[in-house]
């Protein structure tokens, strides 16, 4: 049964205990519930339905049905809906910031980037309706015209993460919709509102036709697995850990869906001996501690030349110790809570194991509830727990190197290849080192937490498949079709 008074309210106190399928808000009924908690206070925000396999099937039925007519709409109609969605996000900025803070522990620095970046991404995605172009190619056959067309893939499944949920959901949802596809979105359990149901409200307000976007909350092992494995899913866009991504990819490939996978990272921040130390430390502070380090492109390892190692470590430690920890709804707080106990316990275990292996904690290393102190660790080698694992927390292991070759060797000594950064006042030298680091994204005299809507985002090795943003996501969310037209009679061989 649908929930008649659900409405289109956008606020943390709105009723969120529903699925959104075929334009209807579906009440929980006899489904199990998933408790969505405030990581700052540990209080329950709401309960959302644990979507079933049957719910996912119903969502795909609705999406498949709606996509046929949606694909026939004009580009300006699709672009207009997506632009209106951007305007809704702008209009409800204060409410969305509160949702991000209360549900996911987003302090103001993350709110700033997530809200502003989301608006920018959606406006850029609106242009995709006009940027999906084909072309004409010459033919070796006389009188033949070759036409290359771009058509929507059909139904895009999206499985989004909890760490930057609104932005990382909408970077797939908005382009898919603008290009004429329909969507089934399964958000992470911890961010069922900001990564899923909020998007349903936004696009509902924007006037998106029923069935084009469907949101099924639930467990990854049920709703997530069925989304990736559903035979009507033509592309599965997944952001998350490499282990989970491997399972999603296996489920998708069984029915020949394209897996667009943005996975884990172990990102190096390389500081050469001639670096501007002020800039390198400032970049290292932001790149390690933005969003409590809970981002795939955060700095996982600081690789610092041995001649400036001690000074860099001291400066980074001072900066880390001065970052304010607390309730993310306070504007001057930089470090909010970790999303849940299991994530906290894992990163604390990495810190403890690194100390046992010979590392020295200069600052931090402790937790109060879900608040983990910004932590700087020296005397680290590349094989220690906090360095060889994606710690996904406010943890900065610092590893020395003796020359550029060793820096590159250390940077590449991981199964991951997502992002990285290199600092030197000699930009040519920094670029030479950057070119040798095996990642999908590298930044000179900056840090790796960088995203722009018109440049490719993605990694190599076990950091994923495919690229988000711009023409790269257009390629993944459309099919190429070759149509030839024989305009003159053709002579055949027999």
Residues with active-site annotation: 262, 296
- DSSP state, 210? T
| Cross-strand pairs, 395 | 375
Please state, in angstroms and rounded to a whole number, the distance separating the CA atoms of residues 113 and 106.
10
The H or E element spanning position 399 is strand 395-401
* Conformational region of residue 291, where left means phi above 0, alpha means psi within -120 to 50, and beta covers everything else: left
Tokens for 464, please give them: 């994923």
Q: Cα–Cα distances in Å, from 143 out to 242, 434, 482?
A: 50, 49, 16
Please state, in angstroms and rounded to a whole number, the distance separating the CA atoms of residues 130 and 475.
14
Please state, in angstroms and rounded to a whole number, the distance separating the CA atoms of residues 166 and 160.
9
Contact in structure between 375 and 387 (CB atoms under 8 Å): no
Please state, in angstroms and rounded to a whole number, the distance separating the CA atoms of residues 320 and 313.
10
Please state, in angstroms and rounded to a whole number, the distance separating the CA atoms of residues 426 and 275.
8
Q: HSE of 366 in the Cβ direction (CA atoms, 13 Å)?
A: 5
């Amino acid at each position: 049964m649908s929930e008649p008074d659900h409405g289109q309210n956008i606020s943390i106190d709105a009723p969120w205990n529903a699925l959104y399928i075929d334009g209807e808000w579906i009440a929980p009924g006899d489904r199990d519930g998933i408790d969505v908690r405030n990581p700052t206070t540990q209080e329950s925000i709401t309960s959302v339905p644990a979507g079933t396999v049957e719910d996912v099937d119903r969502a795909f039925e609705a999406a498949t049905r709606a996509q046929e007519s949606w694909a026939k709409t004009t580009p300006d109609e699709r672009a207009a809906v997506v632009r209106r969605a951007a305007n809704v996000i702008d209009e409800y900025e204060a409410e969305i910031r509160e949702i991000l803070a209360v549900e996911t522990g987003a302090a103001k620095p993350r709110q700033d980037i997530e809200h502003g970046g989301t608006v920018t991404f959606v406006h850029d995605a609106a242009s995709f309706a006009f940027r999906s172009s084909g072309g004409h190619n010459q033919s070796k056959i006389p009188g033949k015209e070759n036409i290359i067309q771009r058509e929507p893939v059909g139904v895009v499944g999206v499985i989004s993460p909890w760490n930057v949920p609104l932005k990382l959901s909408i970077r797939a949802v908005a382009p898919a919709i603008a290009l004429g596809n329909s969507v089934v979105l399964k958000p992470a359990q911890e961010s069922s509102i900001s990564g899923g149901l909020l998007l349903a409200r936004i696009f509902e307000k924007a006037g998106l036709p029923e069935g084009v976007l469907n949101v099924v909350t639930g467990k990854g092992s049920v709703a997530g697995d069925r989304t990736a494995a559903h035979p009507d899913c033509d592309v599965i866009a997944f952001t998350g850990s490499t282990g989970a991504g491997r399972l999603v990819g296996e489920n998708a490939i069984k029915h020949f869906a394209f897996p667009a996978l943005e996975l884990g990272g172990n990102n190096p921040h390389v500081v050469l001996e001639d670096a501007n130390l002020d800039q390198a430390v400032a970049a290292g502070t932001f790149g390690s501690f933005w969003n409590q380090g809970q981002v795939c492109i955060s700095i996982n390892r600081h690789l610092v030349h041995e001649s400036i190692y001690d000074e860099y470590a001291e400066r980074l430690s001072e900066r880390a110790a001065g970052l304010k920890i607390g309730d993310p709804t306070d504007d001057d707080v930089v470090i909010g809570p970790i999303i849940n106990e299991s994530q906290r316990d894992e990163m604390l275990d990495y810190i403890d194991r690194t100390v046992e292996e010979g590392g020295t904690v200069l600052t931090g290393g402790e937790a109060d509830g879900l608040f983990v102190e910004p932590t700087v660790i020296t005397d680290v080698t590349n094989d220690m727990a906090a360095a060889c694992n994606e710690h996904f927390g406010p943890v900065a292991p610092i590893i020395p190197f003796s020359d550029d070759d060793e820096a590159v060797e250390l940077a590449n000594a991981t199964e991951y290849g997502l992002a990285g950064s290199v600092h030197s006042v000699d930009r040519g030298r920094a670029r030479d080192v950057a070119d040798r680091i095996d990642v999908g994204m590298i930044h000179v005299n900056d840090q790796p937490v960088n995203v722009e809507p018109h440049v490719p985002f993605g990694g190599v090795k076990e950091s994923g498949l495919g690229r988000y943003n711009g023409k790269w996501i257009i390629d993944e969310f459309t099919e190429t079709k070759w149509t030839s037209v024989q305009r003159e009679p053709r002579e055949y061989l027999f």
